[in-house]
Amino acid sequence: MRVLIVEDETNLGQALEQGLNAEGFETTLVTDGQRGFDEGVTGDYDAIVLDILLPKMNGFKVCGELRSRGVTTPILMLTAKDGELDEAEALDTGADDFLRKPFNYVVLVARLNALLRRGTLHRGFGAQGFIVDAASHRVQRDGVSVELTTRETALIECLLANVGEVVSKVDLLHAVWGEHFDGDPNIVEVYVGYLRKKLDLPFDKHSIQTVRGVGYRLDLDAD
């Protein structure tokens, strides 16, 4: 997995590289927005970690320009402490997620992995004829197509990326609602319920199974 890091603070950039290399990622570090754009637009990366305040071109602009060029690489934006406006703008310009500075590596790696799983799906990943189209928020199987909301799409993507395996409620919560979600974690259950209502009948399956006390598992062979 190749990760592009766009960060002008040299110490932080190098620490990011070391941390991600230790986790098995290949990294490229650039220190200004223009070079971030030039590298990002090649499409050679599986994910981009993007700072906001950068020389030459700020992170919002880099992100917006990449998206306007059709680059769909998942982008994780690094925002400042208390940067709630930044976070709204980051998502607005097409970032997939954001992480507040200072952050810890465990969280960074978890969020990157979640993005990478989703990124695989954006490129048309499916399983056993079951396809999630993240752009149009639709799930298709055997010629049947069902429309979902953004959250429902993200949730089914996560389950599909781990098809046959149990995904914990916490992992789903972090991947779909973000690390900073401070509402009721039972929202995961509520949305799994929505998904079941939308998917079970048209597909004639009970595909999302509850594994009591652990989480949920998508089983495409269940009926």
Query: What's the closest the beta carbon of residue 38 comes to Ca ion, in angstroms?
Result: 18
Select 51 or 87, whichever has its Cβ closest to Ca ion: 51
Please give the residue ranges that form the binding site for Ca ion (CB under 5 A).
Answer: 8, 51, 53
Select 8 or 219, whichever has its Cβ closest to Ca ion: 8
Query: What's the closest the beta carbon of residue 178 comes to Ca ion, in angstroms?
Result: 22
Distance CA 220, CA 49 (A): 33
Select 81 or 197, whichever has its Cβ closest to Ca ion: 81
Query: What's the closest the beta carbon of residue 79 comes to Ca ion, in angstroms?
Result: 11
Select 76 or 176, whichever has its Cβ closest to Ca ion: 76
Query: What's the closest the beta carbon of residue 57 comes to Ca ion, in angstroms?
Result: 12
Select 15 or 53, whichever has its Cβ closest to Ca ion: 53
Bridge pairing between strands 208-211 and 215-218: antiparallel
- Which single residue brings its beta carbon nearest to Ca ion? 53
Select 9 or 23, whichever has its Cβ closest to Ca ion: 9
Distance CA 53, CA 218 (A): 40
Cβ atoms of 99 and 111 closer than 8 Å: yes
Following CA atoms 185, 114, 61, 135 in sequence, which dihedral angle do they give, to the nearest 10 degrees? Answer: -90
The CA distances from residue 147 to 51, 142, 178, 194, in Å, are: 34, 15, 23, 12
| CB environment 163-187: b (16+ within 10 A), e (fewer) | beeebebebbbbbbbbbeeeeeeeb
Query: What's the closest the beta carbon of residue 109 comes to Ca ion, in angstroms?
Result: 21
- Compute the 3-state secondary structure of the chain and give helix, strand, coil in percent, each to the nearest 5: 45, 20, 35
Distance CA 67, CA 89 (A): 14
Query: What's the closest the beta carbon of residue 83 comes to Ca ion, in angstroms?
Result: 12
